[in-house]
Amino acid sequence: MLAGLGAIVVLAAVASVVYVAGFHPGRSDAASAESSRVASFQTVGLVAEQPAAGGAAVQLLSSGHDVIFSQVGLSEQQVGDPQWTADLMVGGTYIFIYLPTSQCLASAGPGARPVLAVRHCDLGSQQRWRRLGNGVVSGGHYFYEFANDASGKCIANTAAGPALARCASSQPASELLSFWWTST
């Protein structure tokens, strides 16, 4: 009797593992094909330069489900205030997780007009970002374009605030972000 019960428990455990490994609520087949393994991670500030303000640094932050750019003061630039983890996934995409809420940076909304937002992390293609090009060095920091896997659009610093825009091969300053205050 106990041997039979043990076999049932083992079978139930194996079935549970197979079920959990193959089922990801809210994820498309394309997203589930992406690796969920983290190759490396670092705590960073996602910082852009504000061209209209003479190159002043602004950091990407979350405000509810929306994202904003907030001015980085001189003392804050020195001390640092990293608010994100940049998780480099096996396969080369990044997942950006906002530390105060544990939500992921995402391309959200309709395919024709996606918006930049933070959402519950599901590691889907809407939350995967690819670093484009060789980057640009400014003030001792490397700046890169980051394109979303689902929308193909890049994070941009527009007059209206953070947005998703068509990625420009010229790497305009409005589409460049840097990892500041990194630590692993």
Q: Is 151 or 65 the better-scoring residue by pLDDT?
A: 151
Residue 77 near residue 84 (C-beta atoms within 8 A): no
Query: By percentage, how much of the chain surpasses pLDDT 70?
Result: 79
Residue 157 near residue 164 (C-beta atoms within 8 A): no
Least confident of 17-21, 46-50, 127-131, 176-180: 17-21
Q: What mean pLDDT comes out for the span 15-24? A: 30
pLDDT of residue 54: 67
CA 140/CA 178 separation, integer angstroms: 10
State the burial class of residue 117 (Cβ atoms within 10 Å of its Cβ: 0-12, 13-18, 19+): buried
pLDDT of residue 76: 86
Q: What mean pLDDT comes out for the span 120-139? A: 95
Judge whether residue 113 has pLDDT over 80: yes
Verdict on whether the full-model pTM lies above 0.95? no
- Angle 164-112-36 from CA coordinates, rounded to 5°: 65
pLDDT of residue 125: 97
Q: What mean pLDDT comes out for the span 77-87? A: 92
Q: What is the mean pLDDT of the chain?
A: 82
Residue 118 near residue 62 (C-beta atoms within 8 A): yes
CA 59/CA 81 separation, integer angstroms: 9
Residue 46 near residue 67 (C-beta atoms within 8 A): no
Residue 88 near residue 105 (C-beta atoms within 8 A): no
Structure tokens at 18: 């197979």
Q: What mean pLDDT comes out for the span 24-28? A: 37
pLDDT of residue 64: 86
Query: By percentage, how much of the chain surpasses pLDDT 90?
Result: 62
> Which residues have CB under 8 Å from 177's CB, separation 6+?
46, 47, 48, 60, 143, 144, 145, 146, 155
Q: Is 86 or 11 the better-scoring residue by pLDDT?
A: 86
Q: What mean pLDDT comes out for the span 107-130? A: 94
pLDDT of residue 21: 34
Residue 52 near residue 12 (C-beta atoms within 8 A): no
